[in-house]
Amino acid sequence: MNRNSYVAIMAGGIGSRFWPVSRLDFPKQFLDILNTGRTLIQSTYDRFSQFIPVENIYVVTANIYKDLVKSQLPDLPDENIVCEPSRKNTAPCIAYISYKLQQLNPESNLICAPADHLILDNTLFKKVCYEALGFTERNQALLTLGIKPFQPNTGYGYIQHEEVSIQDNIFKVKTFTEKPDLELAKTFLASGDFLWNAGIFVWKTKEIISAFEKYLPEIHELFFGARVAMNTDKEEAAIELIYPICENISIDYGILEKANNVYVIPSTFGWSDLGTWGSAFENLEKDYMDNATAGKNIILFDSNQNIIHSSNKAEKLILIQGLNDFIVVDTPDALLICKKANEQNLKEYLAEVKRNIGEQFL
């Protein structure tokens, strides 16, 4: 792989939809949600370290998670853990690592990927990444990876592309659409030119910096002004000044929906954003009654289509009878029992917990 190829693993999120396993001080990217033996961030690191040199892999995370990253990724150099002083969405996160790498290597070619996604076919993923890096190396392009949909999912954003590819399996993007309702999602699926937005991006750092200058000039001005401090002992202080006044905005909304040089590779490498317990249910093995269990000492009777999660360390027996289509998550200090159909309300329920009890269980 070209020495100019880099990866930024974005690992600053809270993961509140995986409560009560995911907590403010220990969010889902640092957890083994599917009981595979590796946490989500470890699996993401493993995937990229197969074809990107370790010294070119960076993790962008919140200050409070720095020690978690160090403990879970001991081979990662300390200077490759990039800490944000506050959460400001994906545009500032990507701006930070892009301006930093541009100072380090003006020819840097960067993959930006979330830490907490599931990818089943790592061989195909590697092939797509090679194609993407080759394309952005040769073209003034902002590239995203789209997932060929197999069902009308309302939990993902969508990317519409031109009908004719500009080269093998690379298409110009026509539109981005936020999470649609079910009828619109069915229309997207039937049309054949819509993909799920995986939130994985590839570009030369100089190209994304040009896009920041054009479409998000205030963010550009902040980071461009701090560029000489990047990769020095003055970097942390410079970033501490920038973040409080940095706009909270996503890279999709701030740049990709406006730029005219955005391209997509339709992909089928077995992707899930693992955003909810429902998506975990889809990706766990099921028993003959279509129940998914993660943990030990779980016994079910007359129950179907549930997801039951407990810690492998727990010495507790969980016995369930007569439950259908539920989420049950057991931790030492909290128990969640919720209909799968209502899990989109989990943030509301947690807001109520905060109001009535406080943050000790969050």
Spatial separation of the C-alpha atoms in residues 53 and 252, rounded to whole Å: 28
Structure tokens at 265: 């590779």
Share of the chain above pLDDT 70, in %: 99
Q: What is the pLDDT of residue 312?
A: 67
Does 229 score more than 80 pLDDT? Answer: yes
pLDDT for residue 121 is more than 90:
yes
Sequence ranges of the chain with CATH classification 3.90.550.10 = 5-272
Asked if the model's pLDDT at residue 296 lies above 90, the reply is: no
Q: What is the dihedral of CA 273, 274, 275, 278, to 10 degrees?
A: 130
Average pLDDT value for residue range 160-188: 86
Q: Quick one: DSSP state of residue 255? A: I
Q: Is residue 294 a contact partner of residue 309, using CB atoms and an 8 Å limit?
A: yes
Among residues of the chain, what percentage have pLDDT more than 90? 77
**Amino acid 30: pLDDT:** 96
Instruction: Give 211's contacts (C-beta < 8 A, 6+ positions apart).
Output: 142, 255, 259
pLDDT at 311 over 80: no
CATH number of 5-272: 3.90.550.10
pLDDT of residue 314: 65
